[in-house]
Amino acid sequence: MGLPRFELEHAEIHGHRVAYRLAGSGPALVLVHGITARSDTWRAVGPRLAERFTVLAPDMLGHGESAKPRGDYSLGAYASGVRDLMMLLGIDRATFVGHSLGGGVAMQLAYQFPERCERLVLVASGGLGREVSPLLRAAALPGADIVLPLLASSRLLDAGEKVGGALARVGLRPGTDIEEVARGHASLHDPEARAAFLHTLRSIIDPGGQRVDARDRLYLASEVPTLIVWGEHDRVIPVDHGRGAAKLVPNSQLEIFEDAGHHPQLDEPDRFVEVLEDFIDGTEPAELEVERLRELLVSGGERLTTLPTATRKRRASAASGS
């Protein structure tokens, strides 16, 4: 018997076409891709995970086969979109697994909808430090909307494929990161995809690096089982971001894949599946109630020593309702 089918399906939410892959049965995993990617970034691991779990992998709006409307492409909007798809498909709670931009979306999901989050898995996640690839910083510059159509032209893409073929013939294959970046880059020939990419990018990155930083809220994940996976050779988002995040989340598990770059789920799929399954087997799903979240917010606010004492006391008093 073969692996579960992990094929693309479609639904309509708020009048927009949403593409997604859904397979398997059992506890739910929601796999969230990165910028310019799509659900097939999980192609090497999704079907295998579906042997034990219900696996949902959407093409987020602006990506893949989903609609690319003018609208909100913030992390919060992406998180709401994933939540709405879960509701449509009858998935109440899940382990959120996010890669790159998807890591930021997964953290936003856990923050906005804690009652739906059983575990959090961050794979080479954005939002954990300032440093990011110069290529992404350059795309945030003014005028990038003029240059991108030229870079995504079919002539240049064909030339890139020929270069890759030449390297293969002499035994030097482009790595997974180059291949995945090229796949994502090819999608930008479409004006709607390009506009969605720029709106997304500029909401999280400026020419100096990442402008969204979730580290000040990671204490809220202290009671959510958290796994952090990173490739040692990641040149898009440095592995030190993962090491730093692990220190901020008590009892989190950090796995560094020594032979991987920015896509450990593609570079080392066997190990990725094994690590993820072991993590789920070894942890209990979180059940974070609203009152407990309030307590964490109060205690976290009290640790923010940069705030004046009076301000911290007012916040704690307001949170407790006294």
In the set 33, 99, 241, 262, the catalytic residue is 262
219: closest CA among 189, 178, 174, 249? 249
Amino acid identity, residue 48?
A: R
The answer to whether residue 262 is catalytic is yes
What kind and span of H or E run contains 204? Answer: helix 191-204
Distance CA 295, CA 301 (A): 10
For β-strands 16-23 and 54-58, DSSP reports them as antiparallel
* Residue 22 to residue 55: CA distance in whole angstroms: 6
Return the SS3 of 80: helix
Dist CA 69 CA 61 (whole Å): 8
For residues 17 and 11, what is the distance between their CA atoms, to the nearest angstrom?
6
Active site residue 185: no
Distances (CA, A) of 31 to 121, 152, 212: 9, 27, 21
Asked if 108 contacts 189 with a C-beta cutoff of 8 angstroms, the reply is no
Instruction: Spell out where 65-172 has E strands.
Output: 94-99, 117-123
Q: Which of 39, 100, 133, 252 is catalytic?
A: 100
Helix (H) / strand (E) element for 206: namely: strand 205-206
Catalytic residue of the set 66, 234, 241, 263: 234
What is the set of active-site residues?
100, 234, 262
